[in-house]
Amino acid sequence: MVGILDQQHLMIECTGIGVRFGTGDGEVWAVREVDLTVGRGEAVFIVGPSGSGKTTLLSVIGTLLAPTTGVVRVAGEDVLAIRSAELPAFRLRHIGFVFQEAHLLSYLTAAENVMVPMLAAGLNLAEARARAEELLDRVGLAHRPGNKPDALSGGEKQRVAVARALANRPSVILADEPTASLDSQAGQQVMKLIWESGKEIGAAVVVVTHDPRIMHMADRVVRMEDGRVVVEEAC
């Protein structure tokens, strides 16, 4: 049983998570009976073959997908009890996303892309701009705030995406194959930023990856197969 202090330390608590798609003969369980906890400042990497349920589980943790069965708590809140209309605001406050592609808005500068979630959360323009510049400096792009995505390299775009994920000081950072489109050096730099940021702000970090070059940064590795957790080990 998890003690009170441990519960306060936990940022992610998944219990009995199952995700079913389709019905009848077309029914498929993408995730089956998964339990997972992640604490403040902890980095957990989820690995496994394609189709093993990794990204589906990440979507459940990120409140992008409601599970068919189970309970999900993020930052101490039962996310399944949050009304759907309130989930976007919850994500803005608590969850930072980094995807395989940076998904930057092409018509905005690097600083403006980082400002988007802060403005959506209600921060005023001056404060959002100042924090965006601070974050770009942190990810090594202090000299690029006015550049639009087409003037940035792949690694630079992904660093902007990391800065954007950190904009609202999230409780949880979720990364789906964040290094897959990058060369070895750029991938290491981006993953180091995610890892260090999680430690610095006390966020739980969950990374779905196939990349063996970054596995040394994990505190724990969870292996999934056929929708289930088959191995979980500390690093």
> What is the block-wise mean pLDDT of the chain (235 residues), using blocks of 10 residues?
53 97 89 96 96 96 96 95 95 95 96 97 96 95 95 95 96 95 90 93 96 93 96 84
Q: Is residue 193 part of a domain?
A: yes
Residue with tokens 């974050």: 135
Which of 120, 112, 117, 116 lies closest to 144, judged by CA?
112
Q: Which domain holds residue 112?
A: 38-63+83-234
Instruction: State how far the Cα of 104 lies from the Cα of 230, in Å rounded to an integer.
Output: 35
Q: Is residue 225 part of a domain?
A: yes
Q: Is residue 114 part of a domain?
A: yes
- The CATH number covering residue 171 comes to 3.40.50.300
90 - beta bridge partners? none
SS (H, E, C) the chain: CCCHHHHHHEEEEEEEEEEEECCHHHCEEEEEEEEEEEECCCEEEEECCCCCCHHHHHHHHCCCCCCCEEEEEECCEEHHHCCHHHHHHHHHHHEEEECCCCCCCCCCCHHHHHHHHHHHCCCCHHHHHHHHHHHHHHCCCCCCCCCCHHHCCHHHHHHHHHHHHCCCCCCEEEEECCCCCCCHHHHHHHHHHHHHHHHHHCCEEEEECCCHHHHHHCCEEEEEECCEEEEEEEC
Q: Determine contact, residues 190/158, Cβ cutoff 8 Å.
A: yes
Instruction: State how far the Cα of 217 lies from the Cα of 192, in Å rounded to an integer.
Output: 8
Q: Is residue 68 part of a domain?
A: no
What is residue 141's predicted lDDT score, i.e. its pLDDT?
A: 94
Q: Is residue 18 part of a domain?
A: no
If one counts the domains in the chain, the total is: 1
Q: Is residue 107 part of a domain?
A: yes
What is residue 7's predicted lDDT score, i.e. its pLDDT?
A: 52
Q: Is residue 27 part of a domain?
A: no
Which of 69, 71, 96 lies closest to 170, judged by CA?
96
What is residue 191's predicted lDDT score, i.e. its pLDDT?
A: 93
